[in-house]
Structure 1
C-alpha cells in the first residue's frame, strides 16, 4: 500500500512539473502577443480583451470532463490569464469599496487576483476614475435578483461616455456580523439598502425592533459596526478581513440570491456569438403608444429582450423617463443593426451602452 501511494505521488509530481512548464510557455506566448499588437499600432498598453477572455473560458468549460466542476476549471483558467496579462502591466480596476465588498469579489471573479484593485467611496467615483484614466475598468452593481435595480448605476450609465464591456454574476450570501456574541444583543444594524431589501424577512422575524441605518456599502457597514457596536450585513470575507463574529449565516430571503455587475471601460468588445447589448432611450412625448412602437421592431425580429427598466430623467421640466433595455445579440450583427437604426429614428433620445459577452460562469 505504501508503495502504491508513493507511485501516485510520483505521478502527481511529474504532472505538476508539466503543468508548470506549460504555464510558463503560455506566459511567454502572451508576452509575444502583446509585442505583436504593439508593432501593429496598439499603443494603449491595455492588452485585456473581454471577448477573447470570454471565449477562452467557455472553451475551457466545454473541454472539462471532471472531476472538477466547470466553474472551478474556469476560475483556474481565469487566474492563469490574469497572471499572464499582469506581466506587461497590471490592470487598474475601480470598484465600490472599502475592501470586503461584494463588488470587490466580482472584480476577483472577472479579472482574477493579478490586478490592482482601487476602492471608490461611491458609484459615481468609479465612473470618474475610468473616465479620467485613473482606472482601466470599473465594476459596478446593476441589479439584484431580490432587491431589484441599482438606481445610481443606471443614472450614471445614462450620462457617461463609457461603454459596458462585460458582466459578472455573483451568488450573494449575507451574514450578520458583530463584535457581540449573540443575535439577541443587537439593537442597531448597518447595511447597504440592497442588502436590507434582500434580508427583509429574516430581519423582520429575528430582529424586528432593531434600528436599521443605510450606508454606502456593506464593508463600510462593518467598519461602523466595529467602531460603534451593533451589527452589519456583509459576507464571510468581510468578517475575516475585519475580525468580526458571524452571528448568523445565509440570512438572505432567497438562497438563489444573485447580483449582476457590469464592467465599464472605453472599448467595445468584438462579437463572440453569445453577447448582450444594452441601450438607453426615451420615447417621444405626448405620443400614444410611443414605447410600444419602440419595442415592436425587437418583437418582429424575434430578438430576446432580457430586461427593461425605467428611471426618471433628472432635471427634466416635465415627467420623462429613460428606458434601459438589454437584449440578446451584438450591435454589429446586421439584423440587430437594422433594428437599432429603426428604434433610433423613432426615439427622442437613444444610445447604445455596449455590446459585450454574457457572463461565462
Structure 2
C-alpha cells in the first residue's frame, strides 16, 4: 500500500473528499452541457443567435456577487468563461481542421487555441485543410505558418495563394520535441521519422547523437509516432502528447 493511501495518513480522508467533489463537479458540468444542448435546440427553432453576450456577462456578474471565497473574482471569471464557452460551442459546435493524425503540433495548437471546444477533424496534408475550409466542410483550419528556427513554412504560404481564404487569428505554440520509441533504447533505433520541419529543427542533435541512423521524412510528427509505435527499430521525433496517445 502506498504510504499516502494508508488509513492513518491525515491526508487520506481529505483526498477522498476532493475525489468525491471532483466527481460531483464533473457530473454537474456534463449536466450543464446537456441543458446547453437543449437551449441550442430552442434557439435554432426560434432563429435566435447562439452568442448572447448580455446573458453571459450577467452569469459571470451574478456568480462573482455570490462568491464567498477563497476563490477570487479573477479565478471565478476564468473558470466560468471556459464553462460558458464550452456550453456555447456545444449548442453549435465549430468544426476545426488540422494536420493529423492526433497529437501533431497543429492538433495541439488547435486544442489550445479553441480551448478544446469544437469538433476537431484531422486531415492528412495541408492542401486538404485549405480545401476543407474553402468548401465549408470545416469552419476553421489550423496550419503552421512560421517557426522560430526554420522560419516561414513556405508550403502553407503558397496555399494561401491558391485558395480564397483569410487569416483571422494567430496562435503561438511552444514546441518541444521528444524522441519516441517502443523500447527507449538508442541502440535499437535504425530509422528516425518525422516531419521535415521537426527534422530540420533537430538536425544538429541528430548528427551528434545518431550519426549513422537513417532520418526519413513523413507527413507529420504524429504520423511518425504512429510508425514508431509498431516497429522497435523505428523512432519518431514528435510531441510528448504523441507519446501518451501512441
Query: One fold, TM greater than 0.5?
Result: yes
Q: TM-score, normalised by structure 1?
A: 0.49
Of 142, 147, 156, 2:145 maps to 142
How much does 1:171 deviate? 0.9
Counterpart position of 1:173: 176
Counterpart position of 2:218: 215
| CA distance in structure 2 between the partners assigned to 1:67 and 1:168 by the alignment | 29
Counterpart position of 1:89: 92
- Conservation of the 8 A alpha-carbon contact between 1:191 and 1:218: yes
| CA distance in structure 2 between the partners assigned to 1:139 and 1:213 by the alignment | 25
1:220-239 matched pairs, under 5 angstroms: 220-228=223-231, 229-239=233-243
Of 110, 120, 127, 1:117 maps to 120
* Count of residues paired in the alignment: 213
Q: Which has the higher helix share?
A: 2
- Conservation of the 8 A alpha-carbon contact between 1:95 and 1:117: yes
SS, match of residue 135 in structure 1: coil
1:192-211 matched pairs, under 5 angstroms: 192-211=195-214
Counterpart position of 1:312: none
- Sort the Cα spacing of 1:87 and 1:163 in 2 relative to 1 into closer, same or farther, 3 A: same
- Sort the Cα spacing of 1:233 and 1:137 in 2 relative to 1 into closer, same or farther, 3 A: same
Structure 1 gaps of 5+ residues are 57-65, 243-361
| CA distance in structure 2 between the partners assigned to 1:167 and 1:218 by the alignment | 21
SS, match of residue 167 in structure 1: coil
Structure number with greater CO (CA < 8 Å, separation at least 6) is 1
| CA distance in structure 2 between the partners assigned to 1:107 and 1:113 by the alignment | 8
What is the RMSD of the two structures over their aligned residues, measured on CA atoms? 4.1
SS, match of residue 169 in structure 1: coil
Counterpart position of 2:245: 241
| CA distance in structure 2 between the partners assigned to 1:112 and 1:191 by the alignment | 27
| CA distance in structure 1 between the partners assigned to 2:128 and 2:51 by the alignment | 22
Counterpart position of 2:162: 159
How much does 1:79 deviate? 3.8
For the pair 1:129 / 2:132, whether they are aligned, the reply is yes
How much does 1:48 deviate? 7.3
- Conservation of the 8 A alpha-carbon contact between 1:78 and 1:112: no
| CA distance in structure 2 between the partners assigned to 1:169 and 1:127 by the alignment | 20
| CA distance in structure 1 between the partners assigned to 2:161 and 2:81 by the alignment | 31
